[in-house]
Amino acid sequence: MADALTRPIPTPGDLAAAAHRRAAAEAPGQRYDRRVWEQAVMAGDLHANARLVALILAHHAGDSGYLPAGNVQDARNLTVEAGLRGRYVRLSLTQLEHDGYIARPSIHGWDEPRPRPVTLTLPPAGVRREPPSTGGAGE
């Protein structure tokens, strides 16, 4: 019990870093499938801006679903490519990370001037995967 009281509480950055490490560890054994990832993005409950940013990331990701540090995941580059304001791109990246579509190392331990690397990941099983109902005559 005393150990649980002295153990530090993980920050969201710690959780993101752990997700990034998990995704990187699973990558060699589990082949990234862009089609499956894009289907999850399209069926997910994402804002349209986040969906656009996700599809741009998928377009630029390698066969493993990994984007190395720097390059397209820089919010300044994504604003140009997506035609969105920087604030909306940053919010979209945060939503994608929070919902489990991407993993990035913690910003708190990131000392490089380049943007953090991104690994495209599938959200946990509890995340809704089918499109929301449009309502119909039977409802």
Cβ neighbours of 43 (radius 10 Å): 14
Check residue 70 and give its pLDDT.
Answer: 83
Beta-ladder partners of 65: none
Q: Residues 73-86, buried b or exposed e (16+ Cβ, 10 A)?
A: bebebbbeebebee
**What fold, for 10-120?**
Arc Repressor Mutant, subunit A (1.10.10)
- d(CA 129, CA 113) in angstroms, rounded, equals 35
pLDDT for 139 equals: 45
Q: pLDDT of the chain along its 139 residues, tens only? A: 555 567 676 655 555 555 555 555 554 445 678 999 999 999 999 999 999 999 999 999 988 899 988 888 888 999 999 999 999 999 999 999 999 999 998 888 888 888 889 999 988 755 554 444 555 555 4
Where are the chain's structural domains? 10-120
d(CA 20, CA 5): 27
**CB-based contact 96:102 (threshold 8 Å):** yes
**pTM for the complete prediction?**
0.68
As beta bridge partners, residue 102 has 120
DSSP structure string for 59-79: HH--TTSEE-SSGGGSHHHHH
Distance in angstroms (rounded) separating the CA atoms of residues 36 and 51: 14
Helix (H) or strand (E) holding 91: helix 86-99
